[in-house]
């Protein structure tokens, strides 16, 4: 039995949840059960039942790692699952660690692909700040998280049953305040094209051009840490070791130096484009195409050229 | 109060990684105290400066990891414990080993890095919390103690952030914005040489095995266009992306 923990936004399953179901199916280790944890779980569990035959709904309120681990563990006990699959969101990577410890399981974190071989699971993942690809192996029980955008989302497979799941709520963490960040436009981690601005743009105002190019290309806007630290862009746009990891078809870095910590978030992009006035900037070493020049002159010209192409 | 930081020694991100026999070979790499752990060490020192008591740093790793512990001592931590073990150990097993030391030390809180820069694991902090039966706050950007029993902390989620009140003892993991780590001073480095560093050899059976590592340096095209004529350069770039790469 495999248990899939299904992430949702309180109304719908997230894309990552459908990717996790695909991963569970790929393992082909017998029946699959799902669990929906959090708020408004009944409605989401109904949606989830189109994909898996049994869905547990654990109504536990706002997220804490403790509650998610407790609910997932209750679902493991109820289903008898020896493999748990979840999407490798930042939150999941916290509670799955608690769960794996409790299950005395091997934890395969942030995997790119995975397959079963008898009582073992083999997986690949990146390590060393995304510079190394490694193959790993663990014996059951296993907790596995799937890196977003590495697996095609699952298709519906019939209609399953929803069962409520009682969870003993742990204490210790009390949520006082949620500080939301508005998400507009294309989501950064899912975008096929990302346009990132760096400190070389010189000001928050200069990002109007970055946004315009992104709009023209249907892209998401990214930022470097230097830009976020300067307060020009919100942290939710930061790409890198301590920001988001992206892997789009096209990554355009404008006035970005290409520090290793930034590379850790984007070096697996299919094509990398850089605009920088310094021909020696490290970003050019990992770029497929580049323009050596002043971003204030090149960016407006790029917007024009992109618009012409789209017309 | 007692504050404890758990740290790792990792290769500097700038240093060249080599593969030898299907494994990353670190013999030529410059090894440093993980930069996310530096934030954890700095925070522990600041908490001690503010609330008094003692600070301890703990590492699990090979002999050379002692250098990372000495760096933390030079920054200002009081003493160090080194669990000496070679080779890859998964975070769940690491947590099991580290929990014994933490339980014996009984600190008010543990701070560690948000993600390890070698194994890219984010699991150590939360797994350690589970081993101890403590709450965890990951990707912490702000922390303030409320007496001896609670802390108020701000931390990042996938979307946005939240403020939580946590019962102590608890585990926290670091995130950028938490603080600016201080540099070890020369007197600090001299003093660190005389500070207590206790070594305890451990053996562990990792639950996860690494079969093979490889560096997949994607071969990049490196086609550079001179931007002296920005309009011509922009058109050429857009043409290449459209016709050659076919990504727009
Ligand atoms: C533990 C840790 C974690 C980190 N995590 C992240 C992370 O997640 N993401 C991240 O981005 N960084 C991260 N950093 C910071 C990182 O090391 C760099 O400091 C940062 O990426 C630099 O941002 P930048 O390239 O925008 O700025 P700079 O390094 O200042 O580079 C600006 C570039 O713009 C170019 N330029 C200047 N003017 C022009 C012009 N007119 N036209 C064209 N080009 C121009 C310059 O040649 C230069 O290459 C982290 C650091 C640490 C220690």
Bond into B85 cis (ω within 30):
no
Measuring CA to CA, which residue among B180, B176, B178, B130 is closest to residue B153?
Answer: B178
The torsion defined by the Cα of B156, B109, B12 and B10, in degrees rounded to 10, comes to: -120
The torsion angles phi and psi of A33, rounded to 5 degrees, stand at -120, 155
Q: Which of A94, A129, A284 lies closest to B13 in CB terms?
A: A129
Measuring CA to CA, which residue among A301, A258, A251, A305 is closest to residue A279?
Answer: A258
The torsion angles phi and psi of B152, rounded to 5 degrees, stand at -110, 130
Q: Are strands A161-164 and A142-146 parallel, antiparallel or unpaired?
A: unpaired
A94/B233 touch (CB, cutoff 8 Å), yes or no: no
Q: How far is the CA of A262 from the centre of ligand 1 (A)?
A: 7
A250/B166 touch (CB, cutoff 8 Å), yes or no: no
pLDDT in tens, A61-91: 999 999 999 999 999 999 999 999 999 999 9
Q: How far is the CA of A198 from the centre of ligand 1 (A)?
A: 6
A309/B248 touch (CB, cutoff 8 Å), yes or no: yes
pLDDT in tens, A202-238: 999 999 999 999 999 999 999 999 999 999 999 999 9
Q: Which two tokens stand for residue A174?
A: 């009390």
The complex scores an ipTM of 0.95
Whether residue B234 lies within 8 A of chain A, CB to CB, comes out as: yes
Q: Which two tokens stand for residue B197?
A: 């560093």
Beta carbons within 8 Å of B132's beta carbon, 6+ residues apart: B99, B102, B103, B169, B171
Residue B227 has pLDDT above 90, yes or no: yes
Residues of B in contact with A97 (CB under 8 A): 91-92, 95, 122-127, 130
Residue A184 has pLDDT above 70, yes or no: no
User: Who lines ligand 1 at CB under 6 A?
Assistant: A 198-200, 224-227, 238-243, 255-257, 259, 261-262, 265, 276-278, 281, 294-296; B 35-36, 176
Alpha-carbon dihedral sign for residues B171, B176, B179, B180: positive
Mutation target for A interface from B17, B25, B90, B92: give the one with most A CBs within 10 A. B92
d(CA A266, CA B166) in angstroms, rounded, equals 34
Residue indicated by tokens 């806007």:
A221
pLDDT in tens, A18-75: 999 999 999 999 999 999 999 999 999 999 999 999 999 999 999 999 999 999 999 9
Q: Which of A242, A271, A290 lies closest to B245 in CB terms?
A: A271
Residue A239 has pLDDT above 70, yes or no: yes
Mean pLDDT of chain B: 97
Residue A183 has pLDDT above 70, yes or no: no
Per-residue H/E/C for chain A:
CEEEECCECCCCECHHHHHHHHHHHHHCCCCEEEEEEECCHHHHHHHHCCCCCEEEEEECCCCCHHHHHHHHHHHHHHHCCCEEEEECCHHHHHHHHHHHHHHCCEEEEEECEEEEECCEEEEEEEECCCCEEEEEEEECCEEEEECCCCCCCCCCCCCCEEEECCCCCCCCEEEEEEECCCCCCCCHHHCCEEEEECHHHCCCCCHHHHHHHHHHHCCEEEECHHHHHCCCCCHHHEECCCCECCCCCEEEEECCCCCHHHHCCCCCCCEEEEEECCCCCHHHHHCCEEEECCHHHHHHHHHHHHHHHHC
Whether residue A174 lies within 8 A of chain B, CB to CB, comes out as: yes
pLDDT at residue number A186: 76
DSSP element (H, E) containing B187 = helix B186-194
Bond into A237 cis (ω within 30):
no
A250/B241 touch (CB, cutoff 8 Å), yes or no: yes
- Start-to-end C-alpha separation, chain B: 58
Across the range B35-39, mean pLDDT stands at 98
Q: How much of chain A, in percent, has pLDDT values that exceed 70?
A: 98
pLDDT at residue number A174: 95
d(CA B70, CA B184) in angstroms, rounded, equals 10
pLDDT-derived band at B122 (thresholds 50, 70, 90) equals very high
Secondary structure (3-state) at B8: coil
Residue A182 has pLDDT above 70, yes or no: no
pLDDT in tens, A248-285: 999 999 999 999 999 999 999 999 999 999 999 999 99
B152/A176 touch (CB, cutoff 8 Å), yes or no: yes
pLDDT in tens, A91-137: 999 999 999 999 999 999 999 999 999 999 999 999 999 999 999 99
User: For residue B243, with 0-12 CB atoms within 10 Å meaning exposed, 13-18 middle and 19 or more buried, which class applies?
Assistant: exposed
pLDDT in tens, A185-201: 678 988 999 999 999 99
d(CA B226, CA B234) in angstroms, rounded, equals 10
């Amino acid at each position: 039995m495999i248990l899939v923990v299904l992430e949702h936004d309180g109304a719908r399953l997230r894309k990552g949840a459908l990717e996790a179901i695909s991963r569970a199916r790929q393992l082909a280790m017998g029946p699959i059960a799902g669990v929906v944890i959090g708020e408004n779980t009944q409605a989401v569990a109904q949606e989830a039942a189109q994909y898996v035959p049994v869905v547990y709904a654990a109504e536990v309120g706002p997220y804490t790692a403790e509650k998610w681990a407790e609910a997932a563990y209750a679902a493991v006990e109820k289903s008898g699952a020896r493999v748990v699959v979840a999407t490798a969101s930042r939150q999941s990577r916290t509670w799955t660690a608690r769960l794996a410890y409790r299950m005395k399981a091997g934890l395969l974190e942030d995997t790119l692909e995975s397959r079963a071989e008898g009582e073992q699971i083999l997986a690949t993942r990146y390590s060393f700040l995304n510079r190394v690809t490694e193959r790993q192996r663990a014996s059951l029980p296993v907790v596995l998280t799937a890196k977003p955008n590495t697996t095609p989302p699952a298709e519906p497979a019939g209609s399953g049953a929803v069962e409520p799941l009682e969870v003993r709520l742990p204490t210790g963490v009390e949520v006082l305040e949620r500080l939301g960040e508005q998400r507009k436009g294309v989501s950064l981690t899912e975008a096929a094209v990302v346009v990132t601005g760096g400190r070389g743009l010189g000001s928050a105002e200069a990002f109007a051009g970055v946004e315009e190019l992104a709009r023209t290309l249907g892209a998401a806007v990214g930022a470097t840490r230097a830009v976020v630290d300067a307060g020009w862009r919100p942290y939710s746009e930061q790409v890198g070791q301590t920001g988001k990891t992206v892997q789009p078809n096209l990554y355009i870095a404008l006035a970005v130096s290409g520090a290793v910590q930034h590379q850790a978030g984007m070096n697996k992009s299919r094509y990398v484009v850089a605009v920088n006035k310094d021909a020696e900037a490290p970003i050019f070493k990992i770029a497929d195409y580049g323009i050596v020049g002043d971003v204030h002159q090149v960016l407006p010209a790029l917007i024009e050229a992109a618009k012409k192409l789209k017309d | 109060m007692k504050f404890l930081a758990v740290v790792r020694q990792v290769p500097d991100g700038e240093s060249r990684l080599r593969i030898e026999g299907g494994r990353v070979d670190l013999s030529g790499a410059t090894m440093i105290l993980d930069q996310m752990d530096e934030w954890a060490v700095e925070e522990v020192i600041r908490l001690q400066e503010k609330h008094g008591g003692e600070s301890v740093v703990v590492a699990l790793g090979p002999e050379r990891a002692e250098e990372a512990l000495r760096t933390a001592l030079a920054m200002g931590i009081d003493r160090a414990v080194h669990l000496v073990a070679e080779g890859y150990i998964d975070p769940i097993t690491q947590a099991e080993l580290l929990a014994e030391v933490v339980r014996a030390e009984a600190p008010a809180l543990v701070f560690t890095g948000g993600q390890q820069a070698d194994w890219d694991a984010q699991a150590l902090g939360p797994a350690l919390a589970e081993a101890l039966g403590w709450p965890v706050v990951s990707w912490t950007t702000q922390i303030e103690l409320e007496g001896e029993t609670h802390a108020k902390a701000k931390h990042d989620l996938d979307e946005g952030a939240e403020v939580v009140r946590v019962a102590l003892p608890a585990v926290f993991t670091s995130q950028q914005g938490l603080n600016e780590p201080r540099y070890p001073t020369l007197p600090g480095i001299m003093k660190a040489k005389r500070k207590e560093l206790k070594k305890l050899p451990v053996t562990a059976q990792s639950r996860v095995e690494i079969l093979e590592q490889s560096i997949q340096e994607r071969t990049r095209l490196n086609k550079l266009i001179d931007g002296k004529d920005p309009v011509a350069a922009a058109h050429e770039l857009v043409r290449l992306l459209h016709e050659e790469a076919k990504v727009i």
